[in-house]
C-alpha cells in the first residue's frame, strides 16, 4: 500500500483546495476521484459555466477555475488517483486507515477528508428525448463553440438551464422553455437571460422531438391553454437537474442526514480521523456555495493536521509568512 498522511476523496474545487492546503501544512496527499479528470461536477458538466461566487473573481469559467486550483496544488505533488471510486474504508493498527479503491488499489492514510460533492450523479431524462440523445440532444454542453450560430432549445427552469441560456445566447439563437410559471435559478442569471437575446417561454413543456438523423424540431405544449406549437431547432439542451447518490460513503459508519455527511464545527465526522468538507457535508446553517467549501476544506485540513500530530498548532500561521518557492509570485521586471 502506498502511504500518505492524508487521503482527500473527491477532486472537485473543495478537494483540490484541500490538497493545496494540506501541502502548505507539509502533509503528503492522495487525491481520489471516480471521475477520470479533476474538477468534479464543474469539469464534467459545467466547464463553460461562469461562476460568480468565488472571492477575487468577478466571474470565472468552470474550466478556468479548475485549471487555477490544479496549478495551486501542483507544487506539492499530490498523488492523483483518478477514475477510481473509493469503495471501502477500514481501520488499521495505530489509528490509520486503509482506503480501498474500485480497481483494487489500497492506500494507507493517517486521516481522511471527504470532499465528494453531490456524489455520483446522473441527469434527469427528458421523457421524449431517448431517441435523440447524442443526435442533437444533450444534458450538458462541453464546448459551446460547437453550437455557435445554431438554433438551441434549452429545457428547464433551474440554475443549469439559465446558465446555459446565458452562456449561449450571444452566439446562438436560444429559446428556453419551462413547464412552470416561475423559476428556481439565481435571480441575477434569470435577469440576464430575460433582458438578453434569448426567448423565454413559461408554462411550456416539450411534448415531442422530431427529425431524421438529428433532432430538427420540437413540439411544444402550453400547459395552461393546451395549445401546441412547433419550434425548429438544431440542438436541445435538457437541463432538468441530476439525481445524486453518495454511493459507498453510506457504508462507512458515518452519520448521514438527507444523504449528507454530518460534521461539527471542526468538520469532524462521527468517525475519528475522518473529516468532510464541501457539498458532501451538512451542519446547521450551512450555505451550499463553492466559497463556503473552500473555507471548510481549510478547516478540515487544519484539524486533520492536529489529529495526525496532537502537538501541531491548529493555526499554521499566515501563508505570507512562508510561501513555498514553487508558488511565489514572479519577480517584477520593472
Quick one: average pLDDT of 175-179? 98
| CB of 77 closer than 8 Å to CB of 326 | no
pLDDT attached to residue 317: 77
Same domain, 259 and 225: no
Pick the last residue of a domain from 197, 223, 240: 240
Q: In the numeric block, which cell numbers belong to residue 292?
A: 463556503
Asked if residue 41 belongs to a known ligand binding site, the reply is: yes
Residue 194 lies in a domain: yes
Q: Which residues contact 234 (CB under 8 A, 6 or more apart)?
A: 136, 147, 150, 151, 152, 214, 215, 216
Same domain, 190 and 96: no
- Which backbone phi and psi does 73 adopt, to 5 degrees? -85, -25
pLDDT tens, 247-264?
788 789 999 998 899 999
Same domain, 163 and 256: no
Quick one: average pLDDT of 67-71? 97
Same domain, 13 and 46: yes
Domain count along the chain: 2
Percent of the chain residues topping a pLDDT of 70: 95
Confidence of residue 31 (pLDDT cuts 50, 70, 90): very high
Asked if residue 320 belongs to a known ligand binding site, the reply is: yes
pLDDT attached to residue 332: 33
pLDDT attached to residue 251: 86
Residue 207 lies in a domain: yes
Q: Which of 39, 47, 279, 245 is nearest to 140 (CA)?
A: 47
Asked if residue 21 belongs to a known ligand binding site, the reply is: no
Q: In the numeric block, which cell numbers belong to residue 183?
A: 423559476
pLDDT attached to residue 334: 30
Same domain, 233 and 142: yes
* CA 59 vs CA 42, 53, 65, 158, 308: distances in Å: 14, 8, 10, 19, 37
Same domain, 130 and 231: yes
For residue 324, pLDDT over 80 is answered with no
Confidence of residue 35 (pLDDT cuts 50, 70, 90): confident
- Which backbone phi and psi does 255 adopt, to 5 degrees? -70, 130
pLDDT attached to residue 323: 52
Residue 223 lies in a domain: yes
Mean residue pLDDT of the chain comes to: 91
Residue 285 lies in a domain: yes
Total Cβ atoms within 10 A of residue 278: 30
Same domain, 65 and 211: no
Asked if residue 166 belongs to a known ligand binding site, the reply is: no
pLDDT attached to residue 186: 86
Residue 27 lies in a domain: yes
Alpha-carbon dihedral 295, 298, 300, 302, rounded to 10 degrees: -140
Confidence of residue 305 (pLDDT cuts 50, 70, 90): very high
Percent of the chain residues topping a pLDDT of 90: 73
pLDDT attached to residue 211: 94
pLDDT tens, 93-109?
899 999 999 999 999 99
Same domain, 294 and 252: yes
For residue 328, pLDDT over 50 is answered with no
pLDDT attached to residue 244: 72
pLDDT tens, 46-63?
777 788 889 999 999 888
Asked if residue 105 belongs to a known ligand binding site, the reply is: no
Residue 272 lies in a domain: yes
Residue 332 lies in a domain: no
Same domain, 295 and 150: no
For residue 322, pLDDT over 80 is answered with no
Pick the last residue of a domain from 240, 257, 282: 240
CA-CA distance, 262 to 187, in Å (whole number)? 30
CA-CA distance, 121 to 169, in Å (whole number)? 27
What residues are paired with 215 via a beta bridge?
Answer: 211
Question: In the β-sheet with 228-232, what is the strand arrangement from edge to edge?
Answer: 204-211, 215-222, 228-232
Same domain, 229 and 143: yes
Same domain, 6 and 117: yes
Please provide the DSSP assignment of 86-147 as one string: EEEEEE-TTS-EEEEETTS-EEEEEEEEE--TT-EEEEPPPTT-GGGBTTTEESS-S-GGGG
For residue 185, pLDDT over 80 is answered with yes
Provide the CATH number for the domain around residue 143.
3.50.50.60
pTM: 0.74
Domain containing 175 equals: 125-240
CA-CA distance, 222 to 236, in Å (whole number)? 18
pLDDT tens, 189-240?
899 999 999 999 999 999 999 999 999 999 999 999 999 999 999 999 999 9
Same domain, 102 and 8: yes
Quick one: average pLDDT of 279-283? 94
Pick the last residue of a domain from 240, 255, 273: 240
Residue 333 lies in a domain: no
Amino acid at each position: 500500500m502506498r502511504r500518505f498522511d492524508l487521503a482527500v476523496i473527491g477532486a472537485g474545487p473543495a478537494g483540490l483546495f484541500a490538497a493545496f492546503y494540506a501541502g502548505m501544512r507539509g502533509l503528503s496527499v492522495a487525491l481520489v476521484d471516480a471521475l477520470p479528470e479533476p474538477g468534479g461536477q464543474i469539469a464534467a458538466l459545467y466547464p463553460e459555466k461562469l461562476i460568480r461566487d468565488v472571492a477575487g473573481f468577478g466571474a470565472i469559467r468552470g474550466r478556468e477555475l479548475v485549471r487555477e486550483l490544479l496549478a495551486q496544488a501542483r507544487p506539492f505533488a499530490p498523488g492523483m488517483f483518478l477514475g477510481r471510486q473509493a469503495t471501502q474504508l477500514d481501520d488499521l493498527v495505530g489509528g490509520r486507515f486503509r482506503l480501498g479503491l474500485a480497481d483494487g488499489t489500497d492506500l494507507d492514510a493517517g486521516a481522511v477528508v471527504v470532499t465528494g460533492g453531490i456524489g455520483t450523479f446522473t441527469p434527469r431524462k427528458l421523457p421524449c428525448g431517448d431517441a435523440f440523445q447524442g443526435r442533437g440532444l444533450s444534458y450538458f454542453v462541453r464546448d459551446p463553440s460547437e453550437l455557435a450560430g445554431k438554433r438551441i432549445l434549452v429545457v428547464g427552469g433551474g440554475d443549469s438551464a439559465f446558465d446555459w441560456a446565458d452562456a449561449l445566447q450571444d452566439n446562438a439563437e436560444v429559446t428556453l422553455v419551462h413547464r412552470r410559471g416561475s423559476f428556481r435559478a439565481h435571480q441575477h442569471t434569470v435577469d440576464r437571460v430575460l433582458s438578453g437575446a434569448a426567448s423565454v417561454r413559461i408554462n411550456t413543456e416539450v411534448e415531442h422531438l422530431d427529425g431524421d438523423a438529428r433532432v430538427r424540431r420540437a413540439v411544444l405544449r402550453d400547459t395552461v391553454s393546451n395549445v401546441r406549437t412547433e419550434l425548429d431547432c438544431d440542438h436541445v439542451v435538457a437541463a432538468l437537474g441530476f439525481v445524486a447518490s453518495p454511493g459507498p460513503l453510506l457504508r462507512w459508519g458515518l452519520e448521514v442526514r438527507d444523504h449528507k455527511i454530518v460534521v461539527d464545527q471542526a468538520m469532524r465526522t462521527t468517525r475519528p480521523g475522518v473529516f468532510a468538507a464541501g457539498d458532501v457535508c451538512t451542519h446547521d446553517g450551512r450555505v451550499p456555495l463553492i466559497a463556503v467549501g473552500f473555507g471548510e476544506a481549510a478547516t478540515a485540513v487544519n484539524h486533520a493536521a492536529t489529529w495526525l500530530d496532537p502537538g501541531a498548532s491548529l493555526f499554521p500561521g499566515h501563508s505570507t509568512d512562508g510561501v513555498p518557492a514553487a508558488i511565489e509570485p514572479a519577480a517584477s521586471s520593472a
